[in-house]
Structure 1
Amino acid sequence: MRTMKLAPSVFGAGIGNLSQQLKILEENNVELLHVDVMDGHFVEKMAFGPDHIKMLKELTTIPLDVHLMIEKPERKLDTIIDAGADIITIHQESTTRLYSCIEKIKSRGVKAGVVLSPATNEDTLKYVLDKIDMILLMTINPGEAGPGFHEELLTKIKNVRELIGDRDIDLEVDGGIDNTNIAKCKEAGVNVFVSGGYVFKGDIAEKIKTLREALK
């Protein structure tokens, strides 16, 4: 069984007391810090970039799980890697150069992954399975707040877990994850869970504890 990992999304954190919040995450042995990079083109919002990743790298020892929601990520990979990303996931829909993007990331000693938006067919993953370390499945449209977790996508998660088979690939999910649905995602095959608003609203330590208890 793969290790269960929590990946709180820094997009949901309070910038004013970010250092304190990151310290709480460290004290609670959070495995990854999820960092959304948005360009205002691939998605409407703009958020974070290489300078922010570099700042986060200096503030925390938690590995940075960087999710690129940008057009033509091949143009930004070197700067994102240089900033300190430990894992980089890129959208299947954002580039026609997926192979070369993955190869560039891996050649720099960084883990590489592919992201699928909700409506993207999982069969497209068949051609990259032996090249990647992570698959991220979105349960809401990238960059959108959305109505919350869509349970119909649990079937897609199960299909992807079957595609992975015994390969050493983490399966991550992002979009409305909280204590009411995290166990369903685990049962479907997920082992990395992104949660932003749920973790950072209220008592962070208690929220992490609640998620871990839901996973047992």
Structure 2
Amino acid sequence: MRKVQLAPSVFGADIVNLKEELKIMEQNNVDLLHVDVMDGAFVNRIAFGSDHIRMLKKHTNIPLDVHMMIERPERYIDSFIDAGADIISIHQESTVMLEHCLQVIKNKGRLAGVVLSPATTPECLRYIMNLVDMVLIMTVNPGEGKQTFMKSMLPKIREVKEMIQDKNIDIEVDGSIDEETAAICLSAGANIFVSGGYIFTDTEKNISILQKILNIPKKHI
């Protein structure tokens, strides 16, 4: 069994109170901090860059799980690593240099992930499995807000779980993850859960709810 982890998405936080939110997450033993990077091209929104990652790194010890929703991510991987990213995930659809991108991340001693949008087949994973530490399965379309969780992604989670078998690879889900959808994704085989809008409506309370549903202990031993 892979370790089950919670990864609040900083994009959903109140930036004005972010320092306080980081303190709450640290006090509640959050495993990862999910950081969305958006360029206004690969997705419509714009959010966060290497300078923001560097600032986050100064204010928290929570590992930074960076999700690159940008075109040609190979141009920026080094800057995100230098800024303090611990995990970097690349969309399969965003580059013709996916294998190269993953190799650069691995060579710098970071964890490398591949992101699959809802319409993207997992088939590409067969050719890069040796370079992948995590598969991020989008349960909504990337970069858009107020979407409904796609239950049609549950078979994809199960398919990826079957593909990786006993390999040392995490399955992360991102998109409208709340107390209901987290439970069904866990049953399907996911073990890392990104949640933004749901968690930050009442940070401490909702972290606790998700940790209970996912059987994550409040205090790690």
TM range, smaller chain = over 0.9
Task: Tell me which residue corresponds to 2:207.
Answer: 208
In 1, Cα distance between the equivalents of 2:8 and 2:140? 16
Question: TM-score scaled to structure 2, two decimals?
Answer: 0.96
Task: Tell me which residue corresponds to 1:46.
Answer: 46
Letter of the structure 2 residue corresponding to residue 210 of structure 1: I
Task: For residue 176 of structure 1, report the CA deviation from its aligned partner.
Answer: 0.2
* Per-residue Cα deviation, 1:147-180 (whole angstroms, up to 9, x for no partner): 3211111001100000011100010000000001
Q: Is the 8 A contact 1:111 1:133 kept in 2?
A: yes
In 2, Cα distance between the equivalents of 1:148 and 1:214? 20
In 1, Cα distance between the equivalents of 2:38 and 2:127? 26
Q: Is the 8 A contact 1:11 1:196 kept in 2?
A: yes
Letter of the structure 2 residue corresponding to residue 164 of structure 1: I
Task: Tell me which residue corresponds to 1:119.
Answer: 119
The runs of 5 or more residues in structure 1 that have no matched partner are none
In 1, Cα distance between the equivalents of 2:19 and 2:41? 30
* Per-residue Cα deviation, 1:106-151 (whole angstroms, up to 9, x for no partner): 1111110100100001111111111111100001111011532111
Q: How does 1:152-163 map to 2 (within 5 A)?
A: 152-163=152-163
SS in 1 for 2:34: strand
Task: Tell me which residue corresponds to 1:101.
Answer: 101
Between the two proteins, what is the percent identity of the paired residues? 58
Task: For residue 199 of structure 1, report the CA deviation from its aligned partner.
Answer: 0.4
Q: Is the 8 A contact 1:32 1:62 kept in 2?
A: yes
In 1, Cα distance between the equivalents of 2:142 and 2:199? 19
The runs of 5 or more residues in structure 2 that have no matched partner are 216-221
Task: Tell me which residue corresponds to 1:172.
Answer: 172
Q: Is the 8 A contact 1:35 1:67 kept in 2?
A: yes
SS in 2 for 1:180: helix
SS in 1 for 2:104: helix
User: Is 1:9 aligned to 2:16, yes or no?
Assistant: no
In 1, Cα distance between the equivalents of 2:144 and 2:122? 21
Task: Tell me which residue corresponds to 2:21.
Answer: 21
Please list every run of at least 4 consecutive aligned residues from structure 1 whose deviation after the TM superposition is greater than 3 angstroms: none
Task: For residue 205 of structure 1, report the CA deviation from its aligned partner.
Answer: 1.1
In 2, Cα distance between the equivalents of 1:69 and 1:123? 20
In 2, Cα distance between the equivalents of 1:124 and 1:77? 21
User: Is 1:90 aligned to 2:75, yes or no?
Assistant: no
Aligned length: 215
User: Is 1:78 aligned to 2:95, yes or no?
Assistant: no
In 1, Cα distance between the equivalents of 2:146 and 2:205? 25
Letter of the structure 2 residue corresponding to residue 128 of structure 1: I
Task: For residue 59 of structure 1, report the CA deviation from its aligned partner.
Answer: 0.8
